Structure 1
């Protein structure tokens, strides 16, 4: 799933490509992907792209006073085409194509989603806050006002909830997903199941620093990369996420995994849980 650093880099890449370009048309191939009907897609036609920004993990194309907002979900992506095919994409349950944005010079964007579980979402709105997922976002962890005190208030409010879930919840902190929550907790040397409100002042500072440095470094590495390069960059720089069975880059212990119904997390027992493996079952607790 594209998370804050990749969506930030996508916005930067597309901002340069789309600056001063007009949208000729938008072909919708997966009708379920479009979540709004007013304004209609055709309202974008003939309007110039004024900017491309990000709200958490939402990508926002500012088009002639409207906003084409996209949430790429778990398996969505955007591919640049120097020249789009002359025929529009055909709707098909077997095709990854969700939509195609055609520009005024016949270049454009393919918006795709791999797999059979279709969760990619597109919105045409007058104000980004009209998108429910944006309206409910928590603070952006890379903004200057995301202080240790703000994080502390969040942790206190979340009580005994596990840190992993608190970091991932978009209404609590915007932009962090499964991968970077694993990375942040590894950098902070904290168990994913540590209760949020149990952190003392020093631990809150450590977690805050880990959030800022992990996301900030990923954004810096991604800055200037084309969309086609971002997935590889992310994967090659992950410390524990997606590296089950490999050596921890800090201590050399094996990276372990806890699996759930539709996701998994990775961690290092030596670095994060005092050497104790986490039980690999839903609602895991430290083995005693």
Structure 2
């Protein structure tokens, strides 16, 4: 799933490519992906892309008076094409969920394909007049890239979360916008903290975690800067220290990276760096061994 650093890079890439272009049409191929009905997709025809912004993990293309807000979910992605394909994908077939086609101008025609791997289409598109009309955007907590996201704000979030596991708090979009499964693993590894640690912690631990959050996101954003959309997935994977690296050596201490598996996700961590050498219980594996 693209998280804050990748979505930030996608915004920069789309600003360069799409701002100033005139929309010819929005073709929706996975009809369930369009979550709104108040504005017809034809309302975008002939309007100009004026801006591209981000709200947490949501992309926001401002097209005339409207906003096309996109959440790529777990397996969604975008592909820019400098030429519009002659063939049109059949509805419900293949990875294409929607295609934003731009009018043929002096810069040539082009389109933005919004795709999702697998047969289940979980990505979401919203056509609204205000991004705040999108429920997921309305629920977002503070953005960690905003200057107002100070240590005091972060410490208050942790205190209010109490005994909740810190891994879940970092991923909760209503508490902190933009961090998902991958970067929460990375932040906790940098902070040398167990994913199962309670959110309410000492001031020193909170400061260490805040510093890890800031440095991890800043490093990821710097690595992704200037990388086109096609290369962002590989860039994300190459920069991971523990996430997605089960069985490999920890780059800090050399211990084996371990995993805890849930029904629909997993987390990775280093026992030496994060849990004083103690492996965490894998609930799924424990049930299989009974």
Q: Same fold (TM over 0.5)?
A: yes
Partner of 2:225: 223
Report Cα offsets for 1:102-151 as digits up to 9, x if no partner: 00122111100001332100000000000000000000011111111111
Matched, 1:148 2:151: yes
Partner of 2:49: 49
- Alignment partners' CA distance in 1, 2:261 and 2:239: 22
Partner of 1:279: 281
**Where does the alignment leave 5 or more consecutive residues of structure 1 unmatched?**
none
Are the counterparts in 2 of residues 27 and 89 from structure 1 also a CA contact under 8 Å? no
Are the counterparts in 2 of residues 260 and 281 from structure 1 also a CA contact under 8 Å? yes
When normalised by structure 2's length, the TM-score is 0.95
State the shift of 1:90 in Å.
1.4
Partner of 1:242: 244
SS of 2:168's equivalent in the other structure is: helix
SS of 1:25's equivalent in the other structure is: strand
How do 1:1-288 residues align onto structure 2 when only pairs under 5 Å count? 1-92=1-92, 94-105=93-104, 106-197=109-200, 199-281=201-283
- Root mean square deviation, CA, Å: 1.0
Would you identify which runs of 4 or more consecutive aligned residues in structure 1 move more than 2 Å? 86-89
**Where does the alignment leave 5 or more consecutive residues of structure 2 unmatched?**
none
- Alignment partners' CA distance in 1, 2:62 and 2:276: 48
State the shift of 1:89 in Å.
2.4
Are the counterparts in 2 of residues 140 and 173 from structure 1 also a CA contact under 8 Å? yes
State the shift of 1:88 in Å.
3.1
Report Cα offsets for 1:215-259 as digits up to 9, x if no partner: 111111111111001001000010000000000000000000000
- Alignment partners' CA distance in 2, 1:274 and 1:117: 40
State the shift of 1:168 in Å.
0.4
State the shift of 1:75 in Å.
0.1
SS of 1:98's equivalent in the other structure is: strand
SS of 1:39's equivalent in the other structure is: coil
- Alignment partners' CA distance in 2, 1:67 and 1:253: 47
SS of 1:196's equivalent in the other structure is: coil
State the shift of 1:80 in Å.
0.5
Are the counterparts in 2 of residues 34 and 122 from structure 1 also a CA contact under 8 Å? yes
